[in-house]
A and B are shown apart, each in its own frame.
Chain A
Amino acid sequence: MTSVPLVSVFSADDSTKVTAKHIPLPAVFQTPIRPDIVSFVHTNIAKNRRQAHAVNPQAGMQHSAESWGTGRAVARIPRVSGSGTHRSGQAAFGNQCRKGRMSLPIKVWRRWHRRVNIKQKRHAAASAVAATGIVPLVLARGHRISQVPQIPLVVEDKIESYEKTTDALNFLKRFGAFEDVQKVVSTKVVRAGISKQRGKKYRVRKGPLVVYFNENAKLLKAFRNVPGVEVVNVTRLNLLQLAPGGQLGRFVIWTQSAFAHLDKLFGTYRYASVLKDGYQLLRPLLTNPDLARIINSNQVQEKVQPAKTTTVLHEVQKKNPLRNTKAMDRLNPYARKQRAAAIAAIKANTKGTKKIKKNKALKKASRAAFNKVSAALNDATNAAVQEEQDIKVKYFSVQKGAAQAE
């Protein structure tokens, strides 16, 4: 969703000169940026260039190895038959064995390619094109575009007739795109790993992508030898080039006719695409994705209720209604009457029964007896205590006397 729907076309010879001012931006550049779609489509489409390969089906299996079975104090893995070499009796066949076959050996009939729904592929491409028009995304991807006069960079068709690489280079220098090429050159590195022995010696960055329209254009040969630069026709835009590595925001240089052709290719929000049969550009969920602005806007803030300052989650202390009559009454106002009725019922039940009169005389006698016994007990204990004390006194006095004598 770019906010600048107008674009200038620059003269090929002079970056300060503008040949056509204020060309409207094709609607593709306003499709929603969908990194999720792009990464999904990219991971699958990237697999389509693979060539079938396989491991030799006989690898590791060219032995008549058999397991020795149990009882021989060795593991039960198949062992190479025969004698006369070190190899005999060694383990074979298993993926864990030395010189054994790998587990799940790769077959040629592995599903190398993935099909992706056409609509998804188109949406991804459209999203990727849109991302090329957003400066921060191109910067974040790592392109050096700080000296480029405009993004998206649209140049007059003259560059399509470039034949010499020097022309191409000078053109890039004029438009500040050479910095990106320099980055590619300076960061060319010998690849780590075995791939370097398999034809992928260098790891090279991606530079600018030049998009042209006319089939007779010679600029392919002019730009071919410039490191990092790729050239592609509009009609054959490739997601793998627009979003290398699944990363949105390639630095793209459009020719004027290519730029104009985009509307026909992808269509607009008013009409469907002409060339992609029945394809309609993806509509965004939100036309204005700036959530913060929406929330803080006057229209929303008017309707919003003031924020709650205090929220009571529960009472201070929970009272058990089964034990606390007031709590019970709060819950069940009829409980009071129920309680009263219950008490009345009990009282009514107990009306007929006689009271048991306690025998006063008996009481007196029993008390007297008790007193006697307790008194006796008391005397006995007192006597015992006294006795003990006397002994103590005697003993210690004796001791003292003895000490004094000494």
Chain B
Amino acid sequence: MQIDEVVWQVINRGHCSFKIKTISQNFCRNEYNVTGLCSKQSCPLANSQYATIKEEKGLCYLYVKTAERAQKPKELWERILLSKNYEQALNQIDEQLKYWSNFMIHKNKQRLTKLRQMLIRIRKMRLKGFKELIPIKKKAERRDKIREQKALVAANLENAIEQELMDRLKNGVYNEIMNYNSKAFEKVVGQNQVEDEEEREQQELEEEEEDYSDEQLIFDPNDLEEDDEDDEIDEDNQEDDRRLFKKQTFNQLRRQDDQIKDLKKKKPRVQLQYEEEEELEDRKKQQIAF
């Protein structure tokens, strides 16, 4: 009791190796400090009568220090195991620190509570498993992303798929004629039929001069084999009809391309209704006759 005052003066004013100064507060690094703060009441060095709670392997112990043992550092702290039952532990503290200052008793109880809560949390985490936080490494992430992109490009997926499909075709996996891209079709077949191509080119040149009304260009997705309507064409003229037929085949092919595209796009089945349906049917009949 006598030295406490002196010790506090020397430690506080002078140097204490356990003191940590921050802008707002002073902390105490001493392992026996109840509160963790540097103050006269909670300094384990400046109080010859002192008590703390410490936790070891899931068990809480009450460490008590008295003036009688002040000169014997080895025997200084008396260690009392506290009950696992919270209430009983609190009663134990009351018992052991009977007639001690309220500050000491209260702080010890607080510390016990805190430690027990910590232990509960530890147990919970062990049992439940907890989300482990992994840091995101920016550089690594960035690097991997770029490399993925490069790998994707290098893989030449489209070409590989094309090759595979061609092989399958050649092998005869596909029995029926399927809808496919006109360009691809031409590629495979076109080399054998150069003449047809030339004819088609001529036709295309001829047909370029004609005007296309809006109705002509309307695409009816349901119309696979039906012909389109050309308002401007003279029904009586046979030559025109021939042209019309050629044009229609051309248009049919073009429509098929569009169809394939649309099928790829998976458009809903659309029903277009035209006002002049009867005319359409007449035209059809005429063509069939021709």
Contact = CB atoms under 8 A, between A and B. Distances in A.
Q: Which of under 10, 10 to 19, 20 to 34, or 35 or more describes the interface residues of B?
A: 20 to 34
B69 to A, nearest CB: 10
A35 B76 CA distance: 26
Contact of A140 (B5, B11, B67, B71): B11
A144 to B, nearest CB: 10
Contacts of B16: 140
Contacts of A290: 1-2, 4-5
Given A35-B13, A136-B45, A140-B17, A150 B72 contact: yes
Contacts of B7: 134, 136-137, 140
Contacts of B73: 135, 139, 145-151, 176
Contact of A137 (B1, B2, B10, B71): B10
A278 interface: no
A146 B74 contact: yes
A1 interface: yes
B14 interface: yes
A294 B7 CA distance: 17
B1 A140 contact: no
Nearest to B46: A136
A7 B72 CA distance: 10
A33 interface: yes
B70 interface: yes
Contacts of B6: 1, 32-33, 289
Interface residues of A, number: 34
A3 B5 CA distance: 13
Q: Name, among A137, A150, A292, the residue most crowded by chain B CB atoms within 10 Å (CB to CB).
A: A137
Contacts of A150: 71-74
B17 A292 contact: no
B71 A151 contact: yes
Interface in A126-143: 131, 133-137, 139-142
Nearest to B30: A139
Nearest to A245: B15
B18 interface: yes
A139 B46 CA distance: 11
Interface of A: 1-4, 7, 32-33, 35, 131, 133-137, 139-142, 145-151, 176, 247-248, 288-293
Interface of B: 1-7, 9-11, 13-18, 45-46, 67, 70-76
Given A248-B10, A289-B5, A290-B4, 4 more contacts: A3-B2, A140-B16, A140-B45, A146-B73
